[in-house]
Amino acid sequence: MNAGAAKAGANGLGPRASLLMSLALGLLLAALSGLVMFPAAEHLRSLRDGERAQATLHTSGSCMAGQCEVEFEADGRTVVADLPVGSGGGKRSVGAAMAIRYQADDPRVVAREDDVGGGGAALLAWMSGGAAVFFLAIAGAAALHLARQRRTRNR
């Protein structure tokens, strides 16, 4: 066993493991930002001009993850619809009143009126994107470190 491997074993992860973990975290956070949160923010913004209605929270949960439902009247019928990913209001209890916006042609597509600016989802998209850049930079630094180690060993 060489000195570098002994040092890595005693003090934590080696440079290869650090590279792989940073790369995986960076790619995962980039996917979260680009494939989930930015589209969620755009979806919320698309409901800005939707029909307005008063609703009650039907099922509470993690609204940011899209696990809340609201109940409201649209065109004379009762509609129960899921709040989209990126919604706020998760700390409210079932039965809480809120203003919503929905698509006139499909009332099951809703968003809280407070969320139609896309703020919470956009903020999370930028934060996860920034964290992705950070972890990808760490992966790049680890790759440079490994390349330099390999080059000095081969001399």
Examine the domain organization and report whether 111 and 53 are in the same domain: yes
What was the pLDDT predicted at 29? 93
Examine the domain organization and report whether 57 and 85 are in the same domain: yes
What was the pLDDT predicted at 1? 46
What was the pLDDT predicted at 4? 53
4 inside domain: no
User: Residues with Cβ < 8 Å from 37, sequence gap 6 or more?
Assistant: 85, 86, 121, 122, 124, 125, 128
What is the domain range of residue 85?
49-115
Examine the domain organization and report whether 125 and 110 are in the same domain: no
pLDDT tens, per residue, the chain with 155 residues = 455 555 555 566 777 888 888 899 999 999 988 998 888 888 889 999 999 999 998 887 777 777 889 999 998 999 999 888 878 766 778 888 999 999 999 999 999 998 888 777 888 889 999 999 999 999 998 888 888 888 888 87
Q: Please tell me the total count of domains within the chain.
A: 2
2 inside domain: no
What was the pLDDT predicted at 24? 93
CATH number for the domain that contains residue 89: 2.40.50
9 inside domain: no
CB 141 within 8 A of CB 60: no
| Rounded Cα distance, 60 and 63, in Å | 7
Examine the domain organization and report whether 122 and 110 are in the same domain: no
For 41, phi and psi rounded to 5 degrees? -65, -40
User: Residues with Cβ < 8 Å from 14, sequence gap 6 or more?
Assistant: 4, 5, 8
